[in-house]
Structure 1
């Protein structure tokens, strides 16, 4: 169940960060409210995940996948710049998370 909580925490974190971008510096009411609700949900689910998933693994996966997904959303949805250096960096982040998970088994 901890892994399902972690997946939910990642989804809410990515949603909240997207809402932060859409809030235009917290000046748009609805995205700002959704941002706070998303972060509250994310941290609640992350805390529940930590009941069964090691904190070093859970936090690394939560933050890394959040970075990867937000980078992809930034490029595809928000029109942020694309570069091969970004792609390589994302691949390295994913490799690090996979390596961390493999060494905890």
Structure 2
């Protein structure tokens, strides 16, 4: 459960950081870089925490899909941007893809990678 909270908090930070690029550049140039870097760094830290329990493919797909949907929706609401039916279909497709990835991994907990030992030419361990 904590990993999902970390993931959705990471999404919130990523969306905030990305939107700050546009919002702050219109009023206070330069400030947007500091705010964006801080929020995106926090987002990646939390995303790495989510990776500990959620499979990477699922966590990253959810992070990207939900983030894009939120950024697109907030762009419409806050920035007056427009979404065409094709854009909306693409956003639905992203969410569907993330959902399918998640459903395909339910019950398959993330396991530490089984990294094979390196061997030398004569077959001994390195």
Unaligned runs of 5+ in 2: 107-126
Q: How does 1:62-77 map to 2 (within 5 A)?
A: 62-77=63-78
- Per-residue CA deviation, residues 50-87 of structure 1 (Å, 9 max, x unaligned), is 11111111111101111111111111111112211111
More relative contact order, 1 or 2 (CA 8 Å, 6+ apart): 1
Unaligned runs of 5+ in 1: none
- What is the CA–CA distance in structure 2 between the aligned matches of 1:66 and 1:91, rounded to whole Å? 13
Match of 2:30 in 1: 29
- What is the CA–CA distance in structure 2 between the aligned matches of 1:67 and 1:87, rounded to whole Å? 11
- What is the CA–CA distance in structure 2 between the aligned matches of 1:2 and 1:20, rounded to whole Å? 27
Question: What is the RMSD of the two structures over their aligned residues, measured on CA atoms?
Answer: 1.5
- Higher-helix-fraction structure: 1
Displacement, 1:47? 0.8
TM-score by length of 1: 0.90
Larger Rg: 2
- What is the CA–CA distance in structure 2 between the aligned matches of 1:42 and 1:90, rounded to whole Å? 21
TM-score by length of 2: 0.76
Match of 1:101 in 2: 102
